Copies of this chain bind each other. A is one copy, B any other.
Amino acid sequence: MQDIPPQPDPQPDPATLAFARHDHSHCAGDTLARAEAVAAERGARLTPVRRRALEILLEAHRAMGAYEVLDRLAADGFGHQPPVAYRALEFLVEHGLAHRIRRLNAFAACMHPGQDHAPVFLICRACDSVAEAAGEPVRAALDTAAAAVGFTVERANIEALGLCPACTQGAAA
């Protein structure tokens, strides 16, 4: 998922979650299955709304605003009011099944539920795509910096704005 194609196609979606091409239907289904396993393991109740909210994020495969998720939930027969979406999303974030991207006021399904809980988000300012990259070393450096002043890190948001591979090429050309 991290390899960069030499000639990337134009973005198929305005905000895909990984820059490289991949079998999306497979990755979504697979991730959902792993998310279910993680939830079961943690004793977290993945109720219908919550599960559907996660599916919506996985299907879209991009960062989505809470109201956008809400619209889809409502269309599927769930509640129509903001708290419905916010609570489901909060649950997913709480249990590491989704992430909140504050720079975008948006949420995205976690692509590595249960394993990689130090994600960094790479947001392309040109094409608005968003990638979730592994950030263990970044998190380790953050923990060190915090420890130096006596601070204990519990949760972290690490978000970068810049240019994705495709747009870097475009800018150079």
Contact = CB atoms under 8 A, between A and B. Distances in A.
Given A2-B148, A149-B4, A125 B138 contact: no
B149 A160 contact: no
A159 interface: yes
30 contacts: A2-B148, A4-B150, A19-B149, A19-B151, A20-B149, A102-B102, A131-B149, A133-B146, A133-B149, A133-B151, A135-B141, A135-B145, A138-B138, A138-B145, A142-B160, A146-B160, A149-B165, A150-B168, A151-B160, A151-B165, A151-B168, A152-B163, A152-B168, A154-B161, A155-B160, A155-B161, A156-B160, A157-B157, A158-B158, A158-B159
Interface of A: 2, 4, 19-20, 102-103, 120, 122, 124-125, 131, 133-135, 137-138, 140-142, 144-146, 148-165, 168
